Structures are given as structure tokens and as C-alpha cells.
A = this chain, B = another copy of it.
Amino acid sequence: MSDRQTTIHELKERMAKFVHERDWEQFHTPKNLSMSISIEAAELMEHFQWLTVEQSKSLEPDALQDISEELADIVIYSLSLSNFLELDLADAILQKMEKNRRKYPKEKVKGKSHKYTYYKENDGDDQ
């Protein structure tokens, strides 16, 4: 299996089954899952903590394996939260991407980190 064949729905189903078989719905509440995502995000970040931005671009195979597991954990808990909230995650992503396209028009923000930050801080003013 792979990115080309696997739908969000399929991943959500597998996660729902995993949680249900363990009777863990009682722990996988929105409040707890938001904490879990944040904790896994910090574990991912830990790999880059003392690297320069440049160094973070060339990683050893071992680090890359660890990082792929942390990234998987983040998305796994995001799938579980989508299940709990009965959200269509693909839909939410596509809608957010569309919103971002309007918010950061490519001709205006191309290659500009200053602009990017500027627009971020002026959310809503620039739409």
C-alpha cells in the first residue's frame, strides 16, 4: 500500500477499528486527543531542536525513520479526532487549502518570507 492508493477514509477506518478493539473510545476524547497531537508534535520537534535550519535538511537514515514514526503518530491522532467529531478530513483540508490560496495570492507573496509573516499577522485584513 502507499500514498497513491490509500484514501483518508481507509486510514480512518483502520484507526476506528484499532480504538474500538481496545475499548479506548473513552480515552480518545477531543480534549485528550488535542493533547496527544501536541505531545507527538513536540516529539517530532525534538529531532530538530539543536540543528540549524540548514542542518535540518540533511538527515541520517536513522533520524529519518524516527521522524517518520513521529509524523505518523501526529496524523494517527488527527484521524482519531476526525472520527470522534465525524469530520470529513479531506474536505476540511481541501477547504483550508482554498482559503489559504485566497489569503496568500501567489503573485503577491512569491518568495517573500517577510510578506508571509506580515500576512499571517494581518489575518483577515488581506482578504
Contact of A4 with B7 in the complex, beta carbons under 8 Å: yes
Assembled-state Cα–Cα distance A90/B80 (Å)? 15
Per-residue CB proximity of A7-40 to B under 8 Å, as 1/0? 1110110110010011110110111101111110
Q: How many A residues touch the partner, as a band?
A: 35 or more
Q: Give CA–CA (A101, B48) in the complex, Å.
A: 23
CB distance from A75 to the nearest CB of B (A): 6
Tell me the A residues contacting B by CB distance below 8 Å: 1-9, 11-12, 14-15, 18, 21-24, 26-27, 29-32, 34-39, 41-57, 59, 64, 67-69, 71-76, 78-79, 81-82, 84-85, 87-97, 99-101, 104, 106, 109-111, 113, 116-117
